[in-house]
Amino acid sequence: MYELLYISQAVVDLTETEMEAFLGRSRERNAQADITGILLHIHDGPVGDEPFRAAFFVQSLEGPQEAVEQTYERIRADMLHTDLTVVHRGQRESRSFAGWRMHLTRMTSEAALALIARESQPDSGPPLRSDNPADTFALLRDPLIARALLVVVADQSR
């Protein structure tokens, strides 16, 4: 089993309905390709005249290596996002998101940061805090942090 984990910046902020609409077809394709995974849409609401403050994606694709890489090539070319960074790719013993043809969760960057803080500092210490979404995005370049966040989000959805 092969996994590819990437982060990207959203170009437009899609509503939940719009996200579900484009994911319908993605899920069908993933089912055909034996791919499972999770897509976390981190977004902060509009501020002033800006349509949205920040929006980015964290996605894990797991399945046969060739299918995962081919799917990622298509996703990479998608105009809905930019600045894609693969934070991890490689073999794993088993699927973490079995049963999900692409599970979607949305949360603010603040909520994501709180989960990251909880996972990385379970006991004590000063809470990890920032009101700059770019800080959360930067943290997710660490594969351990990105994976831990996706796993805890998945656990909450079960």
Find the shortest distance in angstroms from Cβ 143 to ligand FMN: 18
Look at residues 7, 6, 5, 4 and name the one whose alpha carbon lies nearest to residue 133: 7
Q: Is 87 in the site for ligand FMN (CB under 6 A)?
A: no
Do residues 35 and 62 make contact, with C-beta atoms less than 8 angstroms apart? Answer: yes
Q: Tell me, residue by residue from 92 to 131, as one string, x for binding to ligand FMN by CB under 6 A and - for no binding.
A: ----------x-----------------------------
Q: Rounded CA gap, 2 and 72, in Å?
A: 12
Q: Which of 11, 138 has the CB closer to ligand FMN? A: 11
Find the shortest distance in angstroms from Cβ 115 to ligand FMN: 19
Only one of the segments 25-33, 48-56, 85-93, 129-137 lies at the binding site for ligand FMN (rule: CB under 6 A); that segment is 25-33
Q: Is 74 in the site for ligand FMN (CB under 6 A)?
A: yes
User: Any idea what DSSP says for residue 50?
Assistant: B
Q: Is 36 in the site for ligand FMN (CB under 6 A)?
A: no
Backbone angles phi, psi at 79, to 5 degrees: -75, -5
Find the shortest distance in angstroms from Cβ 156 to ligand FMN: 20
Q: Rounded CA gap, 14 and 55, in Å?
A: 9
Q: Is 59 in the site for ligand FMN (CB under 6 A)?
A: yes
Distance of CA 104 to the CA centre of its chain: 9
Q: Is 72 in the site for ligand FMN (CB under 6 A)?
A: no
Backbone angles phi, psi at 18, to 5 degrees: -65, -40
